A and B are shown apart, each in its own frame.
Chain A
Amino acid sequence: MFISLKNAVKKYGSGEALVYALDHAELTLDEGEICVILGPSGSGKSTLLNMLGGLDTLDEGELTVAGRKVTGLSQERRTDYRKEDVGFVFQFYNLIPDLTVEENIEVVADISDKPIDMEEVLNALDIEKYRRRFPKELSGGQQQRVAIARAMIKNPKLLLCDELTGALDTKSSKQVLKFVEKMNSQFGTTVVIITHNEAIAGMADRIIRLKDGQICENRGNEQKIPAAELVL
């Protein structure tokens, strides 16, 4: 079992304003899977991603990723966990504006123990020609590919994508998803994609649906289709 989330609870607020962002959620994922998590706004998708990525801590429950027990880790150890095991891709790319494409990727390579060769990643994501450009000089799709490259350079065990196509047009979205798929197959990375877009679920090995902080559906995808064939 690559990811095991048991009885996860995350609360915000108190008294009458108490909200359960995760309400005794349970989840398991196998290594190398692409998992798409669907759900409406406020269902707890981002909270779940924050927990999986070690950005936040659970109030109750237990999370294990790649054999590492994430719950109970100190802040420093969670930083190590993010550094070693997790790659992030965000809706708005979150690239460092003062650094070029190559340098943004280098930011992660610099602290990785065994980073992948820069040229390999640049070529895999077809961004080699933009390597000296700054984020503002790229389109949304190109920036998102840089964000994927940045996440992948350290060869993470887990790639977490938060609404990665949310700010992109259909064409760019499909292209970005193809690259995610490629990363999954080329490097064997487990991928978790959080999205509103039901169509993306087509490329998943596993589909999870969240509602009010609870996992209401967790199923394997029998009819998985390549990203290139998705109708977004």
Chain B
Amino acid sequence: MKLNRRYMRSIRENRSFYLSSTVLTVVTLLLYFLFNIAGNAILNFSVDFYERNKIEDAHFTTYMEIPKEKLSELEDTYDVTLEEQRYINIETNGVTARIFARTQNIDLYEITQGEDVAADDEIVLSEGYAVENNIEIGSSMKIGSKEYTVAGFMQRPDYLYMLESEDDSYKNISTFYLCYMTDREFESFGDTGCQYLVRCHEDSDIAGFRKAVHEKYYMRSYTAAEENPRINMVEQQAQMFIVMAYVLLCILPLIAVVLISIIISRKVKSEQRMIGTLSALGYKKGRLMLHYAGFAAIPGLVGGVLTAVISMVAAQPMSEMGLQDYEPMHITGRLNPLDAVLGIVIPTVLYVLAALLSVRRLLKKDTVMLLNGNADGGKKRGKRMLAGKKISFRIKFALRSLLGNPMRSFVVLLGVFLGCFIMLLGQGFFDSIDHMGNTAAEEMGSYEHQYILNEMLTENAYGGEAMLISAVEDVDGSRLSVVGTTDGNPYLNVKDKDGNSISLEEGYYITSLVQLVLGWQEGDMVTVYNPLSLEKKEIRIAGIVQNNVQKSIFTSKELAAELTGLDENSFNCIVSDRSLSIPEAKIAQESKRSDITDQAKAMTKQMDFLLQMIIGLGVIICIAAVYVAVNMLVTESCSNISMLKVLGYRDRQINKIILRSHHILLPVGILLSVPCVYAAAKAFFLLMVDFGVMLIDTYIEPKSYLISILLTAGCYFVSLWLLRRKVKKVDMIESLKDNRE
């Protein structure tokens, strides 16, 4: 069709629109694509790696060793795979090596670099530690009193997040590593620790298995893979990216596509004289629709293809970016071809649809009206506003321009909103996690030190406040800690959501996190199980303690003892505001309140690059969104601008009249974005709770508000500044000619 020669000419004439709408399409889609690619890359890797190396479904320890022949008996009876895992921790110069004996069926290790051990003086060690400490293959390492040669690096599926203890809150790859050596060399260590690894099958009777083990061998500890942070942190990380991509970042392409679609539809409307002329010349509806669909398809097609290309290039580095906390996972970030196609098709279809609907609507009008350019002359709300009132025409013009063209104002508002939303959201994530470090520490209590003892004591000779700590499981195996203490414990902040103190003597109080995760409510009768014996207990929930950090039941010592079967006169935990002199041998685990703050700080440090990326892209989105919106405003005001020029108005005065009227949309857009950011961040953090993450309250620092507002305002005024040229370029004579036509 000869008419299609207009395409290239139109692109040349409207290059700023095509450029900014393409950039907007690319950047918003890109954020979604990259997070989705990164999340799926981690998830795919972990699924393959776990399957390949037969990850455990649980591990446990017993007070009595299970004889080897009984292991296979248990396997047959309960249809599980069971394997003994022997290990020993050896500390050398402040660094702990956890040496494992090889297993055959569960938690196999995989050589990631170099070779497996072939001689008794060779070892393979965890790759994260080797990379962190610049250890090379072939170098020597001392374990205990003996020197070993590093033959290679390895990874183990249940240690992708390298926690020395499952109760630790943050990885340790500076003073802790895993190690394998020959069986003979391992045996030379003599007495070693022992735990049992379990893999379930389709028909496994895991509850019966656990009960049987407890009855015969006395279960000491049992940790399901879902409760094991060394394992579930990987999925949490992957899901964080995927949730971010799907739930939050999907908003951006959606808004951007709506914004561009509205502009396209208005651009088509501005072509009504041309459409009327072509219609009068005999062009049929289908042909005209096809012609205008071509215009609209350009930003969608170009944007979609560019997004796919950039995603392919950036997929790998972006995927690796979120893995700084983990063992070096050799993941492959890959763009899903279906996503690439959808990224091209969806915006293109929506843009084309907007154009088609617009052409269709215009073609329903009288051709003469189209030729006169009056086809969209419907009654505009707000047009008559203040007519006859003794107010400056500038104010009336501004108000009518704003309110009489609601869709145009909406587009400008949407542009500002979109820009501020993405920048504030990025900073909101960062601030919330940072803030969580402080609030979580406060919610946990005012103690500075917590000592979990490896035996039950009856007399507290060390100071601090003694507590009874144990755990129960819900019907699905989700573990809850049980904290038995007194109302007078000065270190715990046990308060309801209104800040009122709670008396623990009155019953079992669940934390608000448990309420959220398990859906238990005050007054509910719930069933819990002893995690070791699986003994069943029914308890009534007496109330909710405001605590979004811990999955816990708070109660009195007596009730805790009744629930867990421990002695009510004994204790196994001490909290204190100062360091206590408890013998090392009695301490199973020591933690500081500041650990959680440090963990949050480490997380925000890791997020720094992500934040910078989101803000950087946010600036581009903001400029592009505001630019396309204000560009439309200037284009649609061309005849007014030229008339004002003819009448003797200067460019600066014209800018004030035409553009300044929309400045009010800047604070409105920013204000609107604030609750939306809170809603989006809350939705994100709530979804992350499903993946075992504590509930993080959305918090935005005043500094972040300021930065976001300044950046959004900056982008807005930069866009206006760029468009001042366009106002200057409006040709008086051409515009008058247009009016003559």
Q: Using a CB–CB distance below 8 Å, which chain A residues touch chain B?
A: 50, 53, 55-56, 76, 79-84, 86, 88, 90-92, 94, 96, 98-100, 102-103, 106-108, 110-111, 131-132, 134, 136, 150
Which residue on B lies nearest to A95, using beta carbons? B643
Of B396, B401, B643, B648, chain A has the most CB atoms within 10 Å of the CB of: B648
- Contact of B383 (CB < 8 Å), options: A90, A98, A131: A98
Interfacial chain B residues near A136, Cβ < 8 Å: 377
Q: Which residue of B is nearest A93, CB measured?
A: B739
Number of interface residues of B (CB under 8 A): 29
Instruction: Kindly report which residue of chain A lies nearest to residue B646, judged by CB atoms.
Output: A88
| Chain A to chain B: the 3 pairs with minimum beta-carbon distance, closest first | A83-B648, A103-B393, A82-B648
Q: Which residue from chain B places its CB closest to the CB of A102 in the assembled complex?
A: B388
Complex Cα gap A11–B404 (Å): 42
The listed residue (B383, B646, B647, B739) touching A111 by CB distance below 8 A is: B647
B646, A99: Cβ atoms closer than 8 Å: no
Q: Does B397 contact A (CB under 8 A)?
A: yes
Nearest to A103 among chain B residues (CB) is: B393
For residue A152, give the distance in angstroms from its CB to the closest CB of chain B. 12
State A136–B379 Cα separation when bound (angstroms).
11
Given known pairs A55-B733, A88-B646, A107-B644, the reply for A100 and B653 (CB within 8 Å) is no
Given contacts A96-B640, A98-B397, A134-B384, 13 further A-B contacts (CB under 8 A): A76-B650, A82-B646, A84-B648, A86-B648, A90-B736, A94-B639, A96-B397, A98-B401, A98-B640, A99-B397, A107-B393, A110-B393, A131-B388
In the bound assembly, the distance between CA atoms of A81 and B644 in angstroms comes to 14
Whether, in the assembled complex, B156 has its beta carbon less than 8 Å from a beta carbon of chain A, the answer is no
CB-CB < 8 A to B653: which residues of A?
111
Interface residue from B392, B646, B739 paired with A55 (Cβ < 8 Å): B646
B739: contacting residue among A56, A79, A94, CB under 8 A: A94
B377: chain A residues within 8 A (beta carbon): 136
- Does any Cβ of A come within 8 Å of B387's Cβ? yes
The one of A56, A84, A92, A96 that contacts B733, using a Cβ cutoff of 8 Å: A56
Q: Which residues of A contact B646 (CB under 8 A)?
A: 53, 55, 82, 88, 94
A164–B24 Cα distance when bound, in Å, is 46
10 contacts between A and B (CB under 8 A): A55-B733, A79-B649, A88-B647, A92-B740, A94-B739, A108-B647, A110-B394, A111-B647, A134-B383, A134-B384
| Whole-angstrom distance between the Cβ of B67 and the nearest chain A Cβ | 92
Let me know if B732 is at the binding interface, CB within 8 A.
yes
CA distance A81 to B650 in the complex (A): 11
* B 350-370 to A, binary, CB cutoff 8 A, 1 in contact else 0: 000000000000000000000
On chain A, the residues within 8 Å of B393 by CB distance are 99, 103, 106-107, 110
Cα–Cα distance between A189 and B648 once the two chains are bound (Å): 18
Q: Is the CB of B648 within 8 A of A103?
A: no
Q: Which of B610-644 contact A (CB under 8 A)?
A: 639-640, 643-644
User: Which of B388, B647, B739 is A107 in contact with, Cβ under 8 Å?
Assistant: B647
Mask: chain B, 315-345; 1 = CB below 8 Å from A; 0 = not: 0000000000000000000000000000000
- Secondary structure dominating the interface of B: helix
- Interface core residue of B387, B401, B644, B645 (most chain A CB under 10 Å): B387
Query: How many Å lie between the Cα of A92 and that of B387 in the bound state?
Result: 23
A199 to B504, CA, bound (A): 104
Partner of B396, one of A81, A92, A99: A99
Question: What A residues does B648 contact at CB under 8 A?
Answer: 79-84, 86, 108, 111
> In the complex, which residues 379-393 of chain B have their Cβ closer than 8 Å to any Cβ of chain A?
383-384, 387-388, 392-393
Q: Which residues of A contact B733 (CB under 8 A)?
A: 50, 55-56
Distance A76 CA – B740 CA, assembled complex (angstroms): 26
Q: A43 to chain B: closest CB distance in Å? A: 16
Q: Residue of B at shortest CB range from A109?
A: B393
Shortest Cβ distance from B503 into chain A, in angstroms? 68
Q: Is A98 within 8 A of B387, CB to CB?
A: no
Most buried by B among A82, A99, A107: A107
Q: Which of B383, B392, B739 contacts A92 (CB 8 A)?
A: B739
User: B400 within 8 Å of A by Cβ?
Assistant: yes
Known A98-B401, A132-B388; contact A91-B647, beta-carbon cutoff 8 A: no
Choose one: B397, B647, B739, B740; the contact of A82 (CB below 8 Å).
B647
Closest residue to B399 on the A side, CB-wise? A98
* Chain B hits for A102, CB < 8 A: 388
- In the complex where A107-B647, A132-B388 touch, is A98 in contact with B740 (Cβ < 8 A)? no
Give the residue name and chain of the A residue nearest to B737 (CB). A46
In angstroms, Cα B739 to Cα A94, docked, is: 7
Contact B383 A91 (CB under 8 A): no
Chain A residues within 8 Å of B640, by CB: 96, 98
A111 touches B388 (CB 8 A): no
Given the known inter-chain contacts A90-B739, A106-B393, A110-B393, please indicate yes or no for A100 contacting B388, CB distance below 8 A: yes
CA distance A132 to B645 in the complex (A): 24
A55 to B643 alpha-carbon distance, docked (Å):
11
Question: Whole-angstrom distance between the alpha carbons of A111 and B639 in the complex?
Answer: 19
> CA separation between A70 and B384, bound complex, in Å?
40
